[in-house]
Structure 1
Amino acid sequence: MLSQPLFKDILCRDDFKSSAGGAHCFPDLRVGVFEEIVPMGIDPKKVSYKETGIHLSPQEFHKEVEQHLSQASQGQSDTILLDCRNFYESKIGHFQGCLAPDIRKFSYFPSYVDENLELFRNKRVLMYCTGGIRCERGSAYLRSKAVCREVYQLKGGIHKYLEEFPDGFYRGKLFVFDDRYAICSNEDVISACRHCAAPWDQYSLCSSQHCRQLVLACPRCRGEGLTACCALCRDKERAAAAGQAPKEECECTRRRPRVPIERVSQGTLADEKD
């Protein structure tokens, strides 16, 4: 149990976010007690949430991003705009000019930082995530490496930013972890169908019952039966139909390394399939 003063300090009115939806968006909703809401894989006692970056309001963050983009266009920025979410989240929506690590899980974030320390050396880092939760741990871990000049984080995350700046520097959809998969504040579509490359940003689950990968497949391609995330998963479906035991690991998972090479974007992510 959290002590009452600490509970009040963590759960203030500003921490609650609302969006259109309903009970049907959360068919498997459960309530539990966990040491970390989003596990980073590092003992909280070793990297304390009390050592986070400096919190910036959406208005302050907006000004910082505006300045960063202006300076970056002239090759003069000493700032890194860091997206600490997973690759499938940043793929459908991100801040312009961001650095979006190609990671599958937040628990890979520490390894990413460790492998790219020189990238952050003497830099100002503006960090953001969906609702500000991952930044609490991610910014503390980055600060613990003592390489950055300054570390800031967006208070309330992208969600709060979009409430203030629906047409600001964040383009595309905001990925959410329920049956909606994404919510939007602008009309930009920054990703594409993995099969035909048509603009598309609505995720669906791979049709293979042995896979939980998210797939960007447009209605036309899905109508043509392209509902699996990769050729191996299509083979899985055929094998399952024939009563054969399929392989557990698909191509999408197998070829994505634990510590990937970072990629920097000035508006769009690298052209890569899921």
Structure 2
Amino acid sequence: MLSQPLFKDILCQDDFKRSAGGAHCFPDLRVGVFKEIVPMGIDPKKVSYKETGIHLSPQEFHREVEQYLSQASQGQSDTILLDCRNFYESKIGHFQGCLAPDIRKFSYFPSYVDENLELFKNKRVLMYCTGGIRCERGSAYLRSKAVCKEVYQLKGGIHKYLEEFPDGFYRGKLFVFDDRFSICSNEDVISACRYCGTLWDQYKLCSSQHCRQLVLTCPSCRKKGLTACCPVCQEKELEATSGASGQTLKEECECTKRRPRVPVEHISRGTLDPGAEQSSSVR
């Protein structure tokens, strides 16, 4: 049992984030002890969590983003607004003008930084994630490269920001890792159905039994049987339904094969080129 003073130090009020839900959202809830809450794949002894970026309150972060967007519109910004979440998270919601790396796992983030060090050279970086946890490790890793002017991170993450600024610079839904898949603070829908392109942002698991990818498919397309994440999975789903497939399915599909593990950004005159044909994007 933790003593009361120590308990207060570890779990201060800022660490708690509330949202509407219930027990049905967490059917497989477990409590355990892990070396890393969100695995980055770098030993904390090599890159200490104590060497993080400068924490900004939601109010401070809001002012920084406002200034960044104003300067960026005039082509004068030396700042990068960096989303350090996975691509499927930023796809349904992100800060305006952010750089959202097209990475599938947070453990790819260190490699992404290594492959794109020139992009961060002499830049001010404003970093954010869902609740601030990944930024604790991600900002420390970026700082360890000693290429940025400054590294800042949003304290409490998007969740805390939306409590203060539900109609601020973050647009779309906030992805969460439970059966809800997302929570919302504004009415914006910024993503589209994978099949017909209509605006849609409610994830479902790919219907192919071998796959664990998430897919955005609207009710109209689902009624047509379009419930898989890609043509490969859709074909396998049809084979399984018809009983034509007796093969042991593997965890691979078009979605994972066509995406580079570590995207390399196009840089023009020391800045990101938003017009380049790249897997990552300025959003």
TM-score, normalised by the number of residues in structure 2: 0.90
Does residue 1:221 correspond to 2:221, yes or no?
A: yes
Q: Which of residues 242, 247, 264 is equivalent to 1:244?
A: 247
In structure 2, stretches of 5+ residues that fail to align are 266-271
Q: Which of residues 258, 261, 264 is equivalent to 2:261?
A: 258
CA distance in 2, matches of 1:221, 1:72: 38
Q: 1:52 to 1:3 in 2, by over 3 A?
A: farther
Alignment of 1:200-211 (within 5 A): 200-211=200-211
Q: 1:151 to 1:180 in 2, by over 3 A?
A: same
CA distance in 1, matches of 2:222, 2:205: 12
Kept in 2, the 8 Å contact 1:80–1:99? The answer is: yes
How far residue 235 of structure 1 moved from its aligned partner, in angstroms, is 2.4
- The match for 2:129 is 129
Give the 3-state SS of the residue equivalent to 2:50 in structure 1. helix
In structure 1, stretches of 5+ residues that fail to align are none
How far residue 3 of structure 1 moved from its aligned partner, in angstroms, is 9.4
Q: 1:11 to 1:264 in 2, by over 3 A?
A: farther
Q: 1:66 to 1:226 in 2, by over 3 A?
A: same
Kept in 1, the 8 Å contact 2:263–2:280? The answer is: no
Kept in 2, the 8 Å contact 1:86–1:103? The answer is: yes
CA distance in 2, matches of 1:4, 1:265: 51
CA displacement, residues 21-47 of structure 1 (integer Å, 9 cap, x when unaligned) = 000000111111101100000000000
CA distance in 2, matches of 1:196, 1:77: 37
How far residue 253 of structure 1 moved from its aligned partner, in angstroms, is 1.0
Share of identical aligned residues, percent? 86
Give the counterpart letter for 1:14 in structure 2. D
CA distance in 1, matches of 2:141, 2:273: 21
Give the 3-state SS of the residue equivalent to 1:212 in structure 2. coil
Alignment: residue pair count: 270
- The match for 2:190 is 190
Alignment of 1:98-177 (within 5 A): 98-177=98-177
Does residue 1:64 correspond to 2:64, yes or no?
A: yes
